[in-house]
Protein backbone atom coordinates (compact mmCIF):
# COMPACT_ATOMS: atom_id res chain seq x y z
CA UNK A 1 0.00 0.00 0.00
CA UNK A 2 1.27 3.41 -0.95
CA UNK A 3 0.96 4.88 2.51
CA UNK A 4 2.71 7.49 4.56
CA UNK A 5 2.64 7.83 8.32
CA UNK A 6 2.00 11.19 9.88
CA UNK A 7 1.61 12.49 13.36
CA UNK A 8 -0.93 15.26 13.13
CA UNK A 9 0.99 17.27 15.71
CA UNK A 10 3.37 18.09 12.89
CA UNK A 11 0.81 18.72 10.20
CA UNK A 12 0.53 22.43 10.73
CA UNK A 13 2.47 23.87 7.84
CA UNK A 14 2.39 27.45 6.65
CA UNK A 15 -0.33 29.38 8.44
CA UNK A 16 -0.95 33.02 7.62
CA UNK A 17 0.15 35.39 10.37
CA UNK A 18 -1.84 38.56 10.99
CA UNK A 19 0.84 40.58 9.23
CA UNK A 20 0.50 38.32 6.20
CA UNK A 21 3.80 36.45 6.69
CA UNK A 22 3.85 32.67 6.59
CA UNK A 23 4.90 31.08 9.83
CA UNK A 24 5.52 27.60 11.10
CA UNK A 25 4.92 28.12 14.79
CA UNK A 26 2.89 25.51 16.64
CA UNK A 27 -0.83 26.02 17.26
CA UNK A 28 -0.79 27.22 20.86
CA UNK A 29 -4.48 26.33 21.35
CA UNK A 30 -3.59 22.69 20.84
CA UNK A 31 -0.20 22.70 22.55
CA UNK A 32 0.42 19.61 24.63
CA UNK A 33 -2.36 17.63 22.97
CA UNK A 34 -1.24 14.21 21.78
CA UNK A 35 -2.76 12.92 18.56
CA UNK A 36 -2.84 9.35 17.40
CA UNK A 37 -0.81 8.40 14.37
CA UNK A 38 -2.71 7.91 11.16
CA UNK A 39 -2.04 6.32 7.83
CA UNK A 40 -2.71 8.28 4.69
CA UNK A 41 -2.97 6.57 1.38
CA UNK A 42 -1.84 9.13 -1.11
CA UNK A 43 -4.00 7.68 -3.91
CA UNK A 44 -7.30 7.46 -2.09
CA UNK A 45 -8.97 9.23 0.79
CA UNK A 46 -11.08 6.23 1.75
CA UNK A 47 -10.98 3.74 4.60
CA UNK A 48 -7.39 4.19 5.81
CA UNK A 49 -8.24 7.40 7.55
CA UNK A 50 -9.55 7.63 11.10
CA UNK A 51 -12.88 9.33 10.49
CA UNK A 52 -15.26 8.06 7.80
CA UNK A 53 -17.38 10.76 6.26
CA UNK A 54 -20.59 11.04 4.32
CA UNK A 55 -21.12 14.06 2.06
CA UNK A 56 -24.85 14.44 1.39
CA UNK A 57 -25.37 16.57 -1.71
CA UNK A 58 -21.85 16.00 -3.10
CA UNK A 59 -23.07 16.95 -6.60
CA UNK A 60 -23.76 20.54 -5.49
CA UNK A 61 -21.43 23.51 -5.03
CA UNK A 62 -20.90 23.26 -1.26
CA UNK A 63 -20.69 19.44 -1.37
CA UNK A 64 -18.03 19.50 -4.08
CA UNK A 65 -16.15 22.22 -2.19
CA UNK A 66 -16.04 19.90 0.84
CA UNK A 67 -14.64 17.15 -1.39
CA UNK A 68 -11.97 19.56 -2.70
CA UNK A 69 -10.95 20.62 0.81
CA UNK A 70 -10.88 17.06 2.14
CA UNK A 71 -8.31 16.00 -0.46
CA UNK A 72 -5.63 17.36 1.90
CA UNK A 73 -7.15 16.22 5.17
CA UNK A 74 -5.00 13.66 6.97
CA UNK A 75 -7.75 12.24 9.22
CA UNK A 76 -11.02 12.45 7.29
CA UNK A 77 -11.82 10.08 4.41
CA UNK A 78 -15.02 9.96 2.37
CA UNK A 79 -16.91 6.66 2.36
CA UNK A 80 -20.33 7.87 1.22
CA UNK A 81 -21.53 10.55 -1.19
CA UNK A 82 -25.08 11.25 -2.23
CA UNK A 83 -26.76 13.08 -5.11
CA UNK A 84 -30.30 13.47 -6.33
CA UNK A 85 -30.58 13.94 -10.12
CA UNK A 86 -26.94 12.86 -10.48
CA UNK A 87 -27.19 9.73 -8.36
CA UNK A 88 -25.24 6.85 -9.90
CA UNK A 89 -22.52 9.12 -11.32
CA UNK A 90 -18.92 9.52 -10.19
CA UNK A 91 -17.68 12.82 -8.76
CA UNK A 92 -15.23 13.13 -11.67
CA UNK A 93 -17.99 12.92 -14.25
CA UNK A 94 -20.01 15.65 -12.53
CA UNK A 95 -17.00 17.78 -11.53
CA UNK A 96 -14.03 17.08 -13.83
CA UNK A 97 -11.75 19.21 -11.61
CA UNK A 98 -12.12 16.49 -8.94
CA UNK A 99 -11.48 13.56 -11.29
CA UNK A 100 -8.15 12.64 -9.67
CA UNK A 101 -9.85 11.70 -6.42
CA UNK A 102 -10.60 8.02 -6.03
CA UNK A 103 -14.00 8.16 -4.34
CA UNK A 104 -17.17 6.05 -4.16
CA UNK A 105 -19.96 6.73 -6.69
CA UNK A 106 -22.71 9.07 -5.57
CA UNK A 107 -25.90 7.29 -4.55
CA UNK A 108 -29.46 8.46 -3.90
CA UNK A 109 -30.11 9.14 -0.21
CA UNK A 110 -32.69 6.36 -0.07
CA UNK A 111 -29.91 3.90 -1.03
CA UNK A 112 -27.28 5.36 1.33
CA UNK A 113 -25.66 2.97 3.81
CA UNK A 114 -24.57 4.85 6.94
CA UNK A 115 -22.99 1.81 8.63
CA UNK A 116 -19.57 2.84 7.31
CA UNK A 117 -19.87 6.50 8.34
CA UNK A 118 -18.89 8.40 11.52
CA UNK A 119 -19.84 11.93 10.53
CA UNK A 120 -21.84 13.69 7.86
CA UNK A 121 -21.69 17.00 6.03
CA UNK A 122 -25.22 17.76 4.95
CA UNK A 123 -25.14 19.99 1.85
CA UNK A 124 -28.81 19.76 0.87
CA UNK A 125 -31.45 22.41 0.21
CA UNK A 126 -33.23 23.74 3.28
CA UNK A 127 -36.60 22.12 3.85
CA UNK A 128 -35.32 18.80 2.48
CA UNK A 129 -32.59 18.69 5.09
CA UNK A 130 -34.65 18.44 8.28
CA UNK A 131 -36.58 15.45 6.90
CA UNK A 132 -33.34 13.66 6.12
CA UNK A 133 -31.34 14.55 9.23
CA UNK A 134 -34.04 13.49 11.65
CA UNK A 135 -33.91 9.96 10.20
CA UNK A 136 -30.12 9.55 10.46
CA UNK A 137 -28.54 7.25 13.09
CA UNK A 138 -28.01 9.07 16.41
CA UNK A 139 -24.40 7.87 16.48
CA UNK A 140 -23.49 10.24 13.64
CA UNK A 141 -21.97 13.67 14.11
CA UNK A 142 -23.58 16.10 11.69
CA UNK A 143 -22.64 19.48 10.28
CA UNK A 144 -25.63 20.85 8.41
CA UNK A 145 -24.89 23.57 5.86
CA UNK A 146 -28.53 24.39 5.23
CA UNK A 147 -30.61 26.92 7.14
CA UNK A 148 -32.92 24.30 8.67
CA UNK A 149 -31.50 24.31 12.19
CA UNK A 150 -30.01 27.80 12.48
CA UNK A 151 -32.99 29.58 14.03
CA UNK A 152 -33.64 28.56 17.63
CA UNK A 153 -37.20 29.86 17.49
CA UNK A 154 -39.26 27.44 15.44
CA UNK A 155 -42.00 30.00 14.83
CA UNK A 156 -39.41 32.32 13.32
CA UNK A 157 -38.32 29.50 11.00
CA UNK A 158 -41.92 29.02 9.94
CA UNK A 159 -42.37 32.73 9.33
CA UNK A 160 -39.22 33.23 7.22
CA UNK A 161 -39.00 29.87 5.46
CA UNK A 162 -42.72 29.49 4.86
CA UNK A 163 -43.10 25.96 6.19
CA UNK A 164 -43.59 24.19 9.51
CA UNK A 165 -40.41 22.72 11.02
CA UNK A 166 -40.58 18.95 11.03
CA UNK A 167 -37.79 18.26 13.56
CA UNK A 168 -38.28 20.71 16.46
CA UNK A 169 -36.96 18.23 19.06
CA UNK A 170 -33.69 17.78 17.19
CA UNK A 171 -33.42 21.55 16.80
CA UNK A 172 -33.09 21.86 20.58
CA UNK A 173 -29.80 19.95 20.67
CA UNK A 174 -28.23 21.86 17.76
CA UNK A 175 -25.32 24.28 18.26
CA UNK A 176 -24.92 27.26 15.90
CA UNK A 177 -21.57 26.90 14.13
CA UNK A 178 -20.01 30.37 14.05
CA UNK A 179 -16.65 28.90 14.97
CA UNK A 180 -14.71 31.86 16.34
CA UNK A 181 -17.61 32.93 18.57
CA UNK A 182 -18.99 29.56 19.77
CA UNK A 183 -15.91 27.31 19.68
CA UNK A 184 -16.36 25.69 23.09
CA UNK A 185 -20.02 24.81 22.48
CA UNK A 186 -19.17 23.40 19.03
CA UNK A 187 -16.51 21.07 20.49
CA UNK A 188 -19.16 19.20 22.48
CA UNK A 189 -21.94 19.24 19.88
CA UNK A 190 -23.36 16.29 17.97
CA UNK A 191 -25.25 18.41 15.46
CA UNK A 192 -23.99 21.80 14.27
CA UNK A 193 -25.97 24.28 12.15
CA UNK A 194 -23.37 25.90 9.94
CA UNK A 195 -24.08 29.63 9.51
CA UNK A 196 -25.27 31.19 6.27
CA UNK A 197 -22.70 33.01 4.16
CA UNK A 198 -24.13 36.51 4.68
CA UNK A 199 -24.57 35.99 8.44
CA UNK A 200 -20.94 34.81 8.71
CA UNK A 201 -19.61 37.91 6.96
CA UNK A 202 -21.76 40.17 9.15
CA UNK A 203 -21.46 38.54 12.58
CA UNK A 204 -17.69 38.11 12.59
CA UNK A 205 -17.09 41.90 12.65
CA UNK A 206 -20.18 42.93 14.61
CA UNK A 207 -20.39 40.43 17.49
CA UNK A 208 -17.16 41.57 19.25
CA UNK A 209 -18.08 45.24 18.80
CA UNK A 210 -21.58 44.78 20.19
CA UNK A 211 -20.28 42.68 23.10
CA UNK A 212 -17.82 45.47 23.97
CA UNK A 213 -20.61 48.10 23.76
CA UNK A 214 -18.64 50.08 21.16
CA UNK A 215 -21.47 50.50 18.66
CA UNK A 216 -25.15 51.31 19.01
CA UNK A 217 -27.16 48.17 18.44
CA UNK A 218 -29.85 50.23 16.71
CA UNK A 219 -29.25 51.78 13.33
CA UNK A 220 -27.08 49.02 11.78
CA UNK A 221 -27.24 49.07 7.97
CA UNK A 222 -25.80 46.12 6.04
CA UNK A 223 -25.17 46.16 2.31
CA UNK A 224 -23.94 42.75 1.12
CA UNK A 225 -22.82 41.37 -2.22
CA UNK A 226 -22.45 37.76 -3.26
CA UNK A 227 -21.00 35.72 -6.09
CA UNK A 228 -23.52 33.62 -8.03
CA UNK A 229 -22.32 30.29 -6.58
CA UNK A 230 -24.17 31.41 -3.43
CA UNK A 231 -27.37 30.43 -5.20
CA UNK A 232 -26.27 26.81 -5.73
CA UNK A 233 -25.76 24.84 -8.94
CA UNK A 234 -29.38 24.20 -9.82
CA UNK A 235 -30.47 25.85 -13.08
CA UNK A 236 -32.49 29.02 -12.50
CA UNK A 237 -33.48 31.65 -15.04
CA UNK A 238 -32.36 34.47 -12.72
CA UNK A 239 -28.84 33.03 -12.65
CA UNK A 240 -28.27 32.70 -16.39
CA UNK A 241 -25.13 34.42 -17.73
CA UNK A 242 -27.30 36.89 -19.62
CA UNK A 243 -29.12 37.88 -16.44
CA UNK A 244 -26.00 38.21 -14.28
CA UNK A 245 -23.16 39.48 -16.46
CA UNK A 246 -22.50 43.21 -16.79
CA UNK A 247 -24.82 44.24 -14.00
CA UNK A 248 -25.75 43.82 -10.36
CA UNK A 249 -29.11 43.42 -8.73
CA UNK A 250 -30.58 43.63 -5.28
CA UNK A 251 -32.84 40.81 -4.18
CA UNK A 252 -34.77 39.86 -1.07
CA UNK A 253 -35.10 43.61 -0.53
CA UNK A 254 -36.58 44.28 2.95
CA UNK A 255 -37.15 40.56 3.55
CA UNK A 256 -34.18 38.29 2.96
CA UNK A 257 -34.34 35.12 5.08
CA UNK A 258 -30.88 35.79 6.55
CA UNK A 259 -32.28 38.74 8.52
CA UNK A 260 -33.56 36.65 11.46
CA UNK A 261 -30.30 34.67 11.57
CA UNK A 262 -28.22 37.86 11.71
CA UNK A 263 -30.53 39.38 14.31
CA UNK A 264 -30.43 36.21 16.43
CA UNK A 265 -26.61 36.31 16.63
CA UNK A 266 -26.39 40.06 17.24
CA UNK A 267 -29.17 39.96 19.86
CA UNK A 268 -27.28 37.20 21.71
CA UNK A 269 -24.20 39.43 21.70
CA UNK A 270 -26.15 42.47 22.92
CA UNK A 271 -28.35 40.59 25.41
CA UNK A 272 -31.25 42.54 23.95
CA UNK A 273 -33.19 42.60 20.69
CA UNK A 274 -31.15 43.96 17.77
CA UNK A 275 -32.76 44.74 14.42
CA UNK A 276 -30.89 45.47 11.20
CA UNK A 277 -31.51 46.82 7.70
CA UNK A 278 -30.05 44.27 5.27
CA UNK A 279 -29.97 44.20 1.48
CA UNK A 280 -28.08 41.53 -0.48
CA UNK A 281 -26.92 41.95 -4.09
CA UNK A 282 -25.92 39.44 -6.72
CA UNK A 283 -22.61 40.24 -8.43
CA UNK A 284 -21.23 39.01 -11.75
CA UNK A 285 -18.55 36.81 -10.15
CA UNK A 286 -18.54 33.10 -9.41
CA UNK A 287 -17.51 33.26 -5.76
CA UNK A 288 -16.80 35.87 -3.08
CA UNK A 289 -18.82 37.98 -0.69
CA UNK A 290 -18.53 41.47 0.76
CA UNK A 291 -20.56 43.06 3.52
CA UNK A 292 -20.28 46.82 3.94
CA UNK A 293 -21.77 47.74 7.30
CA UNK A 294 -22.70 51.24 8.46
CA UNK A 295 -22.79 51.71 12.24
CA UNK A 296 -23.27 54.43 14.82
CA UNK A 297 -20.50 54.66 17.43
CA UNK A 298 -21.42 54.54 21.13
CA UNK A 299 -20.91 57.80 23.01
CA UNK A 300 -17.21 58.67 23.42
CA UNK A 301 -16.03 55.94 21.04
CA UNK A 302 -13.65 56.54 18.11
CA UNK A 303 -13.42 54.37 14.99
CA UNK A 304 -9.89 53.37 16.09
CA UNK A 305 -11.41 51.78 19.21
CA UNK A 306 -13.38 49.50 16.89
CA UNK A 307 -10.29 48.46 15.00
CA UNK A 308 -8.40 47.85 18.26
CA UNK A 309 -11.23 45.76 19.70
CA UNK A 310 -11.39 43.60 16.58
CA UNK A 311 -7.61 43.13 16.63
CA UNK A 312 -7.81 42.10 20.28
CA UNK A 313 -10.74 39.74 19.71
CA UNK A 314 -9.10 38.02 16.76
CA UNK A 315 -5.39 38.19 17.60
CA UNK A 316 -5.21 34.43 18.23
CA UNK A 317 -7.53 33.54 15.39
CA UNK A 318 -5.99 32.02 12.32
CA UNK A 319 -8.78 32.72 9.86
CA UNK A 320 -9.92 36.24 10.78
CA UNK A 321 -7.56 38.96 9.60
CA UNK A 322 -8.12 42.51 10.88
CA UNK A 323 -6.24 44.70 8.43
CA UNK A 324 -3.99 47.66 9.14
CA UNK A 325 -5.54 51.15 9.17
CA UNK A 326 -6.62 52.31 5.73
CA UNK A 327 -6.28 48.92 3.97
CA UNK A 328 -9.43 47.99 2.09
CA UNK A 329 -10.55 44.32 2.22
CA UNK A 330 -11.27 42.82 -1.21
CA UNK A 331 -12.94 39.56 -2.11
CA UNK A 332 -9.68 38.75 -3.91
CA UNK A 333 -7.99 38.51 -0.48
CA UNK A 334 -10.01 35.41 0.39
CA UNK A 335 -10.77 33.54 -2.83
CA UNK A 336 -10.59 29.76 -2.33
CA UNK A 337 -9.56 30.15 1.33
CA UNK A 338 -11.14 30.04 4.78
CA UNK A 339 -10.14 33.61 5.66
CA UNK A 340 -12.32 36.55 6.59
CA UNK A 341 -10.67 39.97 6.11
CA UNK A 342 -12.11 42.92 8.04
CA UNK A 343 -11.38 46.61 8.41
CA UNK A 344 -13.04 49.66 9.95
CA UNK A 345 -13.11 53.17 8.46
CA UNK A 346 -14.23 56.52 9.94
CA UNK A 347 -17.33 57.85 8.23
CA UNK A 348 -17.23 61.47 7.04
CA UNK A 349 -20.27 61.95 9.29
CA UNK A 350 -19.07 62.29 12.89
CA UNK A 351 -20.07 59.47 15.22
CA UNK A 352 -20.36 56.87 12.47
CA UNK A 353 -18.07 54.17 11.06
CA UNK A 354 -18.01 51.89 8.03
CA UNK A 355 -16.94 48.28 8.37
CA UNK A 356 -15.96 46.09 5.43
CA UNK A 357 -15.83 42.32 5.73
CA UNK A 358 -15.03 39.84 2.96
CA UNK A 359 -15.12 36.05 2.71
CA UNK A 360 -15.32 33.35 0.07
CA UNK A 361 -18.99 32.34 0.30
CA UNK A 362 -18.18 28.71 -0.52
CA UNK A 363 -15.33 28.39 2.00
CA UNK A 364 -15.63 30.50 5.19
CA UNK A 365 -19.28 31.08 4.21
CA UNK A 366 -20.01 27.35 3.88
CA UNK A 367 -17.73 24.31 3.40
CA UNK A 368 -14.55 25.69 5.02
CA UNK A 369 -16.33 26.74 8.20
CA UNK A 370 -18.16 23.37 8.15
CA UNK A 371 -14.80 21.56 8.07
CA UNK A 372 -13.44 23.87 10.79
CA UNK A 373 -16.43 22.84 12.92
CA UNK A 374 -16.14 19.11 12.28
CA UNK A 375 -12.43 19.25 13.11
CA UNK A 376 -13.39 20.66 16.52
CA UNK A 377 -16.21 18.15 17.03
CA UNK A 378 -13.82 15.25 16.30
CA UNK A 379 -11.01 16.64 18.50
CA UNK A 380 -8.56 17.69 15.77
CA UNK A 381 -6.84 21.07 15.35
CA UNK A 382 -9.50 23.22 13.72
CA UNK A 383 -7.25 24.33 10.87
CA UNK A 384 -6.63 20.77 9.65
CA UNK A 385 -7.11 20.59 5.87
CA UNK A 386 -7.81 24.32 5.73
CA UNK A 387 -4.40 25.83 5.21
CA UNK A 388 -5.05 26.85 1.64
CA UNK A 389 -3.71 30.28 0.83
CA UNK A 390 -6.12 32.51 -1.10
CA UNK A 391 -5.97 32.23 -4.89
CA UNK A 392 -4.69 35.43 -6.51
CA UNK A 393 -4.85 36.83 -9.12
Ligand X SMILES: CC(=O)N[C@@H](CCC(=O)OP(=O)(O)O)C(=O)O
- Could you list the residues that contact ligand NDP (CB under 6 A)? 57, 59-63, 83-86, 109, 123-126, 128, 145-147, 196-197, 229-230, 232-234, 361-362, 365-366
Cβ nearer to ligand X, comparing 285 with 378: 285
Residue nearest to ligand NDP (CB): 60
Q: What does each C-alpha distance from 140 to 56, 70, 118, 374 come to in angstroms?
A: 13, 18, 5, 12
Count residues contacting ligand X (CB under 6 A)? 10
Return d(Cα 215, Cα 237) in angstroms, integer. 40
**122 annotated active-site:** no
282 binds, options ligand NDP, ligand X, none, Cβ within 5 to 8 A by partner type: ligand X
* Residue 165 makes contact with ligand X by CB under 6 A: no
The least distance separating ligand X from the CB of residue 224, rounded to whole angstroms, comes to 9
The least distance separating ligand NDP from the CB of residue 90, rounded to whole angstroms, comes to 12
Residues 61 and 95: beta-carbon distance below 8 Å: no
Please identify which residue in 63, 265, 280, 381 interacts with ligand X, judged by CB under 6 A: 280
Angle between helices 61-70 and 368-377 (to 10 degrees): 60
Cβ nearer to ligand X, comparing 147 with 306: 147
Residues 121 and 66: beta-carbon distance below 8 Å: yes
Q: Residue 245 class from Cβ within 10 Å (0-12 exposed, 13-18 middle, 19+ buried)?
A: exposed
Cβ nearer to ligand NDP, comparing 35 with 149: 149
Return d(Cα 80, Cα 120) in angstroms, integer. 9
* Residue 226 makes contact with ligand X by CB under 6 A: yes
Strands 22-23 and 76-82: unpaired
The least distance separating ligand NDP from the CB of residue 219, rounded to whole angstroms, comes to 27
Alpha helices in 19-98 (DSSP H): 61-70, 91-94
Helix (H) or strand (E) holding 291: strand 289-296
3-state secondary structure of 139: coil
Return d(Cα 53, Cα 380) in angstroms, integer. 15
Listing from the earlier edge strand, what are the strands of the sheet with 76-82?
106-107, 76-82, 51-56, 119-122, 141-144, 191-193, 175-176
Q: Which stretch binds ligand X (CB under 6 A): 89-97, 176-184, 226-234, 270-278?
A: 226-234
280 binds, options ligand X, ligand NDP, none, Cβ within 5 to 8 A by partner type: ligand X
* Residue 126 makes contact with ligand X by CB under 6 A: yes
The least distance separating ligand NDP from the CB of residue 331, rounded to whole angstroms, comes to 13
Return d(Cα 344, Cα 294) in angstroms, integer. 10
Q: Using alpha carbons only, what angle is made at residue 357 by residues 351 and 362, rounded to the nearest 5 degrees?
A: 160
* Residue 282 makes contact with ligand X by CB under 6 A: yes
69 binds, options ligand NDP, ligand X, none, Cβ within 5 to 8 A by partner type: none
* Residue 362 makes contact with ligand X by CB under 6 A: no
185 binds, options ligand X, ligand NDP, none, Cβ within 5 to 8 A by partner type: none
Cβ nearer to ligand X, comparing 193 with 353: 193
Contact residues toward ligand X (CB under 6 A) are 126, 146-147, 196-197, 226, 230-231, 280, 282
Active site residues: 197
Amino acid sequence: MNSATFSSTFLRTGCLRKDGVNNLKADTRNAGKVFVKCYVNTKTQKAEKEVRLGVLGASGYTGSEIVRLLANHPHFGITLMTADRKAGQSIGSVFPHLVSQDLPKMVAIKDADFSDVDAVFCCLPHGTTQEIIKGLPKSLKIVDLSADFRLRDISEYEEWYGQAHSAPELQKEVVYGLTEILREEIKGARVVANPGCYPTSVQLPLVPLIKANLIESKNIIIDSKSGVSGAGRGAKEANLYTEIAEGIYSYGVTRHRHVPEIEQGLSDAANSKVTVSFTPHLMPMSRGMQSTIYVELAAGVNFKDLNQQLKLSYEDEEFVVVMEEGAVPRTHNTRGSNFCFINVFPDRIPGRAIIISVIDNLVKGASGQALQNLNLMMGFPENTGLLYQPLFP
